[in-house]
Amino acid sequence: MYDVLVIGAGVSGAAIARRLSRYKLDIAIVEKANDVSMGASKANSAIVHGGYAEPHDELRGRICYPGRSQFEELENELHFGFVANGSLVLAFEEEEIPTLEKLYDMGVENGLDDLEIIDQKKLREIEPNVSDKAIAALWCKGAGVCSPYEYVIALVENAVANGSELFLNSRVCEIKKDGDHFLVKTEDGKELEAKYVVNASGLEGAIVSEMIAKTDFDIHPRSGEYLIFQKGTGKKLNNVLFQVPTEKSKGILATRTFHNNLLLGPDAIDEEEIDLSTHEDRLMYIYEEAQKSVKDDVINLREFIRSFTGLRPASSTHDFIIEESNVARFINVVGIQSPGLTSSPEIAKIVEGILKKSGLELVDDPNYNPNREPIIEYKELEDMNKIKDKLDLPLGDPDRIVCRCEQVSEATIRDAMNRGIPVETLDAVKRRTRAGMGFCQGQFCKPRVLEVMEDELGKKALDDMYDSERNGLSRLNKKRINELIKEMQDTSRKEIEEKEED
């Protein structure tokens, strides 16, 4: 019998499980996918938001800043990758400045003390590559970027190290109340008993809730597509650059990632069905919109390496839903879209409070260890000539470089596979080590990674495909980007010729 069973190993479920693991509790984490952080927590903007974009009368407005303020401590404990590099909301017209003032006022009401509306001169001092057309900005000094999937992995690793039990490939299909506890069944045949259940199942939040409780909300996918560029391109920007937000999103952004890739996106499209493919027209719109924020030489499509789509679990309430349901001890934590990543530490505290109020006894565990060693840390790439001899070292040599583009060693891959979470896919290794995230996108290292995985596992990996290949997703690739560049150049040349003829 578990004290608490958490459904979903995304950022909310992971943060909750890790928070509760400091107490003398038996905790289970049940996840439908073959790894943690496989939904909205994996594919997003990776921004640790300031806390000014949502009004104070919304829960997500009130808890974003308290969540953000915990990231420095979490990074010191868990080493997942976070930097507070600041964010700017850009105004290009005088008519947009009142929006900056509104955002500033919301931020102050939400408790922020690091906001400032700056003029064109100061904007250029702190962001030299910003567009010359930007006339003012809202500057939030403490906002930043993190590595979102590394964050979730770190949370779950730490929860498991502190006694939590993780069940992957276990989609919940039935929940029943049996006296003073719940019986939770999964599609792979597990029957788990728990005194309390926390539903943090992302896009399936309403479906899971309806298995046991009265549910008066819906969850629907809101997709956003992204363009990501090779490592080092992120150095062109100091801050996260937003444009004035829309009703659905915080606008098209341009930012560095924690590992210094340039990232552009997302758009925001409400979907009827889940679609993780990327679309040429949407990505070109994002590219064109992002160009408005920066100088002409910042975004070079020849440095593009991949596109991806993220899905946000948008609720019909337009806000986070964090509450005990009409069934005692069944807690819903759903509709956690932006700024869910930033809010996650505070979400975990709120759920802890709900559980305590509902009767769960919380006794500190003297053996609790909040610390987790990093798998990787940020690094600049070395000159290839200095490491080329390590490429041909034999299998089993920890210094052997497996991934050439990101310079990932065999020792790093083996470490990543022995952290308490089963690692059986190429993408699971990729998210933990960056092997396959470089310029060639795994063309060189894919068989080499599989070789190490199979040696470590003592058996075949799940398969020899990346997640997108396994799921048959269509994504804009480098070949098509190069074709688009040529088409754009031809169109531009033709327009010039036509003007000259006139």
Q: What H or E segment, with its residue span, contains residue 150?
A: helix 148-161
Tokens of 168: 């992957």
The per-type count for the chain, helices as H runs and strands as E runs, is: 15, 22
Computed from CA positions of residues 163, 7, 20, 38, in that sequence, does the dihedral angle turn out positive or negative? positive
Find, among 134, 57, 46, the residue nearest to 89 by Cα. 134
Q: Cα separation of 259 and 268, whole Å?
A: 25
Q: Cα separation of 269 and 312, whole Å?
A: 10
Given 49, 220, 259, 279, which residue is catalytic? Answer: 49
Q: What H or E segment, with its residue span, contains residue 277?
A: none
Q: Cα separation of 257 and 264, whole Å?
A: 10
Angle at 262 between CA 406 and CA 481, to 5 degrees: 90
In the chain, the amino acid numbered 85 is: N
Residue 49 catalytic?
yes
Angle at 54 between CA 49 and CA 56, to 5 degrees: 120
253-256 and 165-167: which strand pairing?
Answer: unpaired
Computed from CA positions of residues 449, 476, 265, 287, in that sequence, does the dihedral angle turn out positive or negative? positive
Q: Cα separation of 1 and 192, whole Å?
A: 7
User: Strand locations in 147-249, DSSP E?
Assistant: 165-167, 172-178, 181-186, 191-199, 219-231, 240-243
In the chain, the amino acid numbered 309 is: T
End-to-end Cα distance, the chain:
81
Find, among 58, 42, 8, 2, the residue nearest to 332 by Cα. 8
Question: Which residue, chain included where needed, has tokens 């000159």?
Answer: 383
Find, among 440, 363, 328, the residue nearest to 22 by Cα. 363
Neighbours of 394 (CB within 10 A): 7
- Catalytic residue ranges: 49
